Structure 1
Amino acid sequence: MEVMEEGNLMDRVQILLQRDLAYYEEHQKVLQERLCSEVVGGQLDFPHHASFASVKLVSWWEGEYVAAYHKPSDFLPTLKEDKNAAHSSDNEEAEAAAVITSVPEEFARLTESSAAQLLEHLHTLSQEALDHADLTVLTGTLGAAALTRNSLWCYNELLKRGSDTAGLSLHNSFKQFNEMVEALAERLLDLHNRLLSLYILQDADSLNWEHNQPFFEGQRGSFIIQMWWLYMQGTREDLWNTVPPKTAQRVFAGMLNESLTILTVRYSQATPSISRGNLLVIDISNLLLCVRHLLPAICTNKSELIGLSNQNKVVRDIHAKCHELLCCLIIRGCPLAVLYKHFRKPGEPVPIFSERPVTPAPWYMVVSSHHFTSLPKDNYATKDLPDKTAVALDLIVLMAQPEASWPLLLKVLMMRKSFLSTLLFHHLIHTKPAKEKETRTEVPKTAEEKSSSNNCEGFLCSGNCRMKGKDRIEDPLTQTACAVIHIAAMVGCIGDLGAVLQPILECPTPEIKNLWGCCDGRQVWDEHGHPAWFKALTRIMASSLEPAVKDSLRNKGSIKVLLNGVAQLAECLPTTLYGASCLLEDALPADVQPLGGSVLMQMVGAALYSILMDEGKDEAIVVAEALCSMDKKKYHHQVKEIKQAFAACSEEMGDKDDSFSTIEEVPYIADVYVSHLLLTESGKQALKTIFKFLQHNTKWILGKLEALDPNEPIHQMKVPKLKPPNPPKLLHSMFNIGAHKFDELLNNAWNLDWKGLLQTPLSLTAKKMWTQLTYRPEFREPEFLNEHDKKVVETISKYFSNYHSQQN
């Protein structure tokens, strides 16, 4: 769509909105622009897409801001790259917006007025979407409102901080758009709930409980659960790809909670006939398995997933409803013979009536028995879970989120003494990449090509959404191994990094040459031949030692000045590097002689050599070559100072070899660590690399953690993959619940331990159990039973009659 780029802002906005409305009336859809994947979500919950009108208006606001303040706001990354040019009168962005010099008061007035016009325009579109139940238009309007809200928040923050903008505010405009986003999210949730309740959860045939013939000749469960499962899966995928992530999660949580309320009430109050009594039990078993796979998407950690946390109200309600369904499943589905054994003698204690201890939710342990080898009887906490189970549960939650949760990713990597990081690194260093993936030597030939390859061309793209630098010429396995070491070194303690490096420290003799060759003083120059773990350690050093190199080059390439600078910069480096060098030195083979007689100096030398070679100057190359042949005796004093400086920093920080990160015990520490990592390009790339690897190999990792569903095909977890897994086909999603087929209880593929379930403390009251028993067809229609079953029903009825009389 072409729009006028010249003239007064209000005139341009009016024409823009008129053309946007005309486009909708002609095509019955909203013209949208894609946002860069790097900015989607986050604290402000940016959308995946926004309408063309909102994107254009935000761009024009930036032009007005530049005209008023003579500098970019840094909200649009494209303007940030030309920050220096923004101070000149011929700034390209200012010319593109065709804005004359303005003042802050004019910027605030124009922004507020144009925002009000856009708000009215979006109200019109949203009403059209609701009138026609058009989800596409509704989500497009929601994205436009979310982008506008976020931009108004950013500009309002700039106004509050400015010394010359006293009294100026965009808070009212921000508040209006924020209310609109919340209202549209509520309307989206209402629309999905109406579709679920009116169309998906209605089936007159399978819900005809009083019918005297079995449904589908008793060969399957009802269609309702199957259609509900398919709708929830498809809607989750649509929400994840269209709606802002946090909003999508809230909408999906509301859908799951509301529909589960309907299903719980329906099945707990149903009074089926003898012919259809088993249908209810099969449906409940299918429903619980479905909820098990849908629940991780709305949880934030494993405590919420397994029911050990009550902070999330929606998740708590879902656990309560699933508990009701489990009780209904036990009472309605337990064979009469098993019930008789538990209720034949009045006065004997019944475990199911006992108060439920603090344990993982019983319903979740029933449908995820492969995570729990036995049902805990005493009070239980997440810290009591086995290491593999604890890591696997958090990993499941992480992979189900609508956006990458960096704090949770860091927690998964570092929890339980860096269990997952150690597992990943052990396999990565022993896995050879495929031949076609071994090297990536092709690099962009021109600056323009390089810029375009790093830019996704989405709105707000700053060029950081793709791999850059040295990582682009390495295979994905090497990148991931480097990223694991980087995270362990920057976030963990010496114990964490030592645990991850354990495969190196205990490597078998045949592999010594491949793993330890990088520590030989004659191999300082061979950067491309260094293994992943050594590259990661030296790159961390290189990022902080550049000042020492520049100081040396200013002093005619003096090696002494270079080494003295390293000693002064020791406190700028993570103390884990010194601890790692000590661990490596203790395990160093006898035939490997590092630079300066220590692994620490070998790491320092490799880092300095990399910086010098990147300089590309002849003088730097001369210094690099001199560093490789450095005389240990001549620079003995400088080498000693470097060692002492690193040792002093490590001692001052109190690092010990046996110390480990407490990231699992103190959750907010993960947020602190992540904020530091995301401030550096290397830390950001490390997190993104590991997350992508986990996405591609979730099933393989769960197999290594012994937490994969027993029904999962074994061939899917043999080796790690470099490509994303293929999404399940529609037919597979329709007839399977994850790795389980529908109606497993009916087909005897899932054998429930009814006796064990009756002995599980569930805080069930005798009154409630008797009410559910009376809904069973055997108790309502005893005339259809044989003499044996009639006697069983009579005995159980007498037990509860005596129990109630004793209680009264």
Structure 2
Amino acid sequence: MEVMEEGNLMDRVQILLQRDLAYYEEHQKVLQERLCSEVVGGQLDFPHHASFASVKLVSWWEGEFVAAFHKPSDFLPTVAEKSGAGTSDDEAEAAVVITSVPEEFARLTESSAAQLLEHLHTLSQEALDHADLTVLTGTLGAAALTRNALWCYNELLKRSSDTSGLSLHNSFKQFNEMVEALAERLLDLHNRLLSLYILQDADSLNWEHNQAFFEGQRGSFIIQMWWLYMQGTREDLWNTVPPKTAQRVFAGMLNESLTILTVRYSQATPSMSRGNLVVIDISNLLLCVRHLLPAICTNKAELIGLSNQNKVVRDIHSKCHELLCCLITRGCPLAILYKHFRKPGDPVPIFSERPVTPAPWYMVVSSHCFTSLPKDKYTTKDLPDKTAVALDLTVLMAQPEASWPLLLKVLMMRKSLLSSLLFHHLIHTNPAKEEKSLRKEAPATAEEKSNAKTCLGFLCAGNCRMKGKDRIEEPMTQTACAVIHIAAMVGCIGDLGAVLQPVLECPTSEIKTLWGCCDGRQVWDEHGHPAWFKALTRIMAPSLEPAVKNALQNKCSIKVLLHGVAQLAECLPTTLYGASQLLEDALPADVRPLGGSVLMQMVGAALYSVMMDLGKDEATAMAEALCNMDKRKYHSQIKEIKHAFATCFEEMGDKGDAFSTVEEVPYIADIYVSHLLLTESGKQALKTIYKFLQHNMKWILGQLGALDPNEVVPPMRTPKLKPPDPPKLLHSMFNIGAHKFDELLTGTWNLDWKGLLQTPLSLTPKKMWTQLTYRPEFREPQYLNEHDKKVVETISKYFSHHHAQIS
């Protein structure tokens, strides 16, 4: 769409909105632009897409800001950096406007925002009138982008000394309210579709019918269609709506629809022919919720019901608990019920108060993760290591956006179990061979073919693609480097030692491969270094760069350079010195490092890398001299460096077991991840590992022993290739994860009814008797044989002794 880029802002805005509305009326959709993937989500909850009108208006606001304050706001990196990254010619022109004043900027922004707000109101009303989800989500994205821009500009006005009394708070508040209102309307629309169309089926809901549904060969269509709709809607929300908003909408859908289903099945009074249908549907429903619940949780404590902080998740656990009680009462065979309720004086564990344990319903449907139902107090610390990691990993990969604190927690929890697992397999993988075979199966993606440095999305600052040496390395090597980088930067010596265990205890046959990098003659061979050594030297390199530049600028000798390195020792993570000592102790006898120590080998490799990156003749000459460094000639300088690193290590100390508290104190992960995200290398390491986990989720669960028994552990996949395709429509329709529908009916899922009746569930005799009276055996005893009639009579007598509680 072409728009006028010159003239008064208000005139341009009026024309822009007129053309945007005309485009909608002609095509019945909103013209949208994609935002850079790097900015989607976050604290401000940026959308995936925003309307062309909102994108253009925000660009014009930036131009007005530059004119008023004579500096960029940094909200639009394309204008601020002038690098051309993600900048169109129109946007570059828009940044050049006449000189203005802050008061004029505030007035124009507020007035134009009011016009856009009115325009979005019109579009949203059209979307609601026609139940058009595409237009509604497009309008929501536009409002979210504009809200975030207004928030940023308002913060800049508050901090500026020249803008006393100026504020955009009212405009921001209006757009924030609009985003919340549109999210509510989106939720209402989905809930109406669910309740009116998905959860209604006259045939399967005809409980009183004397003929079995579908001849008793399957459960009802309702749960199947609900499952399919929830899966499809989750994918749509994740790809269209701002992540946090998408999560809230999906949580509301799941909670509301589960309320309807819980009430329906807990109050159903089926005939003798359809009594089993209720039990089959409830079992299917609980299995479905198990797969949907991770998407709205923030950690494993919420997932397994050991946290009450999230109200919606708490409500869902309560409803699932009610469904489990209903399943037990309705589905338990009469013979087993008779054994538990034949003597009025016998205690029944199911009536006992439920202790603080993981939600029983979740353990029932996730029996491959829980070997038994705990009866005493139980916390997340009591979970087995592999189960704890698998549960948090499941929550992490179900989120609409990457949760960096949770990712860091998963990598480092339980003595860096996952990091150690990943590194062990990655260093024994032949990347070239692995990827050559995989490329035969999958064609190169568009990202692989493209040499562009940016994604060209709106707000792109050029940070969404790999840079420097990482771009030319194999993905497996990148991932191994990333694992070591994170362990060294935020872990303790124990964490790093656990991750490096395969190197420290490598067999004789692999000494040359894993330890050749520590030979003094291999300082120059940066490309031949293994991933773990590359990661350690790359952490060193940025901090040692000042010493190299100073030596080159002043034409100093190697001795002066090494002296400068000693002075910079306190700028490096103390973990590196600890790592060098671990490696020193495990150093093979035939490997002789530079300067006689692994620490000097690491320092030398880092200095060589910095010198070669500078690309100057002087740097190259110094690099060659460094490779030929004689231990005896530079003995005092080497001793000085060792002493400096050792002193820093002793003064600052190791983190010890501090990081083990990451499971108990969530903010610790936030602190460490904020430190990582401040550096480009740390940010890239997190993104690399997250991408690897996306491609290899099932493989990792298989290694942790938490993969569903019905699934085969797939091979490790390279992140450079296309991620595994989502399940086909027919597979999603007839399968719940790796399980087929109606497992309880077919007998492939056998519930331990005796164990369930022995589990404390806080079920009162009154509730249980109410559910029992809904069973057709208790309402229609005339259809039973003499034996079953006697069983029903005995159970009824048992509950008659609890008449005071029941009446």
- Report the TM-score range of the alignment, normalised by the length of the smaller protein: over 0.9
Structure 1: how far apart are the matches of 2:611 and 2:794? 89
Contact 1:495–1:656 (Cα < 8 Å) also in 2? no
Structure 2: how far apart are the matches of 1:785 and 1:538? 78
Q: CA deviation at 1:374?
A: 1.3
Q: 1:243 to 1:757 in 2, by over 3 A?
A: same
Match of 1:444 in 2: none
Match of 2:440 in 1: none
Match of 2:554 in 1: 555
SS at match of 2:745: coil
Structure 2: how far apart are the matches of 1:104 and 1:14? 22
User: What is the aligned counterpart of 1:189 among 177, 187, 198?
Assistant: 187
Match of 2:136 in 1: 138
Contact 1:6–1:97 (Cα < 8 Å) also in 2? no
Structure 2: how far apart are the matches of 1:432 and 1:576? 28
Structure 2: how far apart are the matches of 1:637 and 1:463? 45
Structure 1: how far apart are the matches of 2:355 and 2:247? 30
Match of 1:674 in 2: 673
Q: 1:450 to 1:803 in 2, by over 3 A?
A: closer
User: What is the aligned counterpart of 1:375 among 369, 373, 377?
Assistant: 373
Amino acid at match of 2:771: Q
Are 2:58 and 1:43 aligned?
A: no
Match of 2:428 in 1: 430
Match of 2:445 in 1: none
Contact 1:5–1:98 (Cα < 8 Å) also in 2? no
Q: CA deviation at 1:303?
A: 0.2
Matches within 5 A, 1:50-449: 50-82=50-82, 95-97=93-95, 99-435=97-433, 437=435
Match of 2:751 in 1: 752
Q: CA deviation at 1:95?
A: 4.4
Q: CA deviation at 1:618?
A: 0.6
Amino acid at match of 1:689: T
Q: CA deviation at 1:657?
A: 7.1
Structure 2: how far apart are the matches of 1:175 and 1:660? 40
Match of 2:623 in 1: 624
Q: 1:651 to 1:575 in 2, by over 3 A?
A: same
Structure 2: how far apart are the matches of 1:199 and 1:576? 59
Deviates more, 1:251-260 or 1:493-502: 493-502
Q: CA deviation at 1:659?
A: 7.0
Q: 1:126 to 1:147 in 2, by over 3 A?
A: same
Structure 2: how far apart are the matches of 1:771 and 1:610? 75
Structure 2: how far apart are the matches of 1:657 and 1:742? 49
Structure 1: how far apart are the matches of 2:490 and 2:149? 33
Match of 1:32 in 2: 32
Q: 1:360 to 1:806 in 2, by over 3 A?
A: closer
Q: 1:756 to 1:93 in 2, by over 3 A?
A: closer
SS at match of 2:345: coil
Contact 2:475–2:719 (Cα < 8 Å) also in 1? no
Structure 2: how far apart are the matches of 1:555 and 1:437? 46
Q: 1:304 to 1:533 in 2, by over 3 A?
A: same
SS at match of 1:210: coil
Q: CA deviation at 1:454?
A: 1.6
Q: CA deviation at 1:71?
A: 1.1
Contact 1:555–1:561 (Cα < 8 Å) also in 2? no
Amino acid at match of 2:67: A
Amino acid at match of 1:221: G
Query: Deviation digits for residues 524-543 of structure 1, max 9, x if unmatched?
Result: 00000000000000000001
Are 2:651 and 1:652 aligned?
A: yes
Structure 2: how far apart are the matches of 1:598 and 1:434? 31
Are 2:524 and 1:525 aligned?
A: yes
Amino acid at match of 1:642: I
SS at match of 1:33: strand
Superposed CA RMSD in Å reads 1.9
Are 2:476 and 1:500 aligned?
A: no
Structure 2: how far apart are the matches of 1:736 and 1:450? 36
Q: CA deviation at 1:489?
A: 0.5
Structure 2: how far apart are the matches of 1:175 and 1:24? 26
Match of 1:19 in 2: 19
Match of 1:589 in 2: 588
Q: 1:798 to 1:509 in 2, by over 3 A?
A: same
Structure 2: how far apart are the matches of 1:554 and 1:457? 38
Match of 1:787 in 2: 786
Q: 1:694 to 1:530 in 2, by over 3 A?
A: same
Contact 2:59–2:94 (Cα < 8 Å) also in 1? no
SS at match of 1:338: helix
Q: 1:557 to 1:507 in 2, by over 3 A?
A: same
SS at match of 1:369: coil
The total of aligned residue pairs comes to 793
Q: CA deviation at 1:79?
A: 1.6
Structure 1: how far apart are the matches of 2:4 and 2:434? 50
Contact 2:427–2:531 (Cα < 8 Å) also in 1? yes
Structure 1: how far apart are the matches of 2:434 and 2:292? 37
Q: CA deviation at 1:401?
A: 0.2
Contact 1:497–1:580 (Cα < 8 Å) also in 2? yes
Match of 2:477 in 1: 478
Q: CA deviation at 1:29?
A: 0.4
Contact 2:68–2:102 (Cα < 8 Å) also in 1? yes
Structure 2: how far apart are the matches of 1:451 and 1:421? 31
Structure 1: how far apart are the matches of 2:664 and 2:514? 34
SS at match of 1:371: coil
Matches within 5 A, 1:729-744: 729-744=728-743
Structure 2: how far apart are the matches of 1:652 and 1:373? 46
Query: Deviation digits for residues 175-207 of structure 1, max 9, x if unmatched?
Result: 000000000000000000000000000000000
Amino acid at match of 2:56: K
Contact 1:521–1:595 (Cα < 8 Å) also in 2? yes
Q: 1:263 to 1:806 in 2, by over 3 A?
A: closer
Structure 1: how far apart are the matches of 2:92 and 2:300? 50
Structure 1: how far apart are the matches of 2:156 and 2:698? 46
Structure 2: how far apart are the matches of 1:430 and 1:52? 49
Amino acid at match of 1:515: L
Deviates more, 1:449-458 or 1:530-539: 449-458
Structure 2: how far apart are the matches of 1:450 and 1:281? 53
Structure 2: how far apart are the matches of 1:482 and 1:406? 18
Structure 1: how far apart are the matches of 2:716 and 2:67? 59
Structure 1: how far apart are the matches of 2:262 and 2:331? 16
Q: CA deviation at 1:450?
A: 12
TM-score for both structures, normalised by structure 2: 0.96
Query: Deviation digits for residues 350-385 of structure 1, max 9, x if unmatched?
Result: 000001111100000000001101111110000110
Amino acid at match of 2:741: F
Query: Deviation digits for residues 97-152 of structure 1, max 9, x if unmatched?
Result: 45210000100000000000000000000000000000000000000000000000
Structure 2: how far apart are the matches of 1:709 and 1:647? 48
Query: Deviation digits for residues 473-494 of structure 1, max 9, x if unmatched?
Result: 1111000000000000011011
Deviates more, 1:165-174 or 1:716-725: 716-725
Contact 1:493–1:661 (Cα < 8 Å) also in 2? no
Are 2:24 and 1:7 aligned?
A: no
Contact 1:425–1:484 (Cα < 8 Å) also in 2? yes
Query: Deviation digits for residues 443-473 of structure 1, max 9, x if unmatched?
Result: xxxxxx9996121010001111111110111
Q: CA deviation at 1:171?
A: 0.4
Amino acid at match of 1:152: L
Contact 1:524–1:609 (Cα < 8 Å) also in 2? yes
Q: CA deviation at 1:804?
A: 2.5
TM-score for both structures, normalised by structure 1: 0.96
Query: Deviation digits for residues 603-655 of structure 1, max 9, x if unmatched?
Result: 00000000001111110001001001111112111111111111111111221
Identity of aligned residues (%): 88
Structure 2: how far apart are the matches of 1:693 and 1:135? 33
Q: 1:806 to 1:739 in 2, by over 3 A?
A: closer
Query: Deviation digits for residues 672-698 of structure 1, max 9, x if unmatched?
Result: 111111111101110000000000000
Amino acid at match of 2:425: H
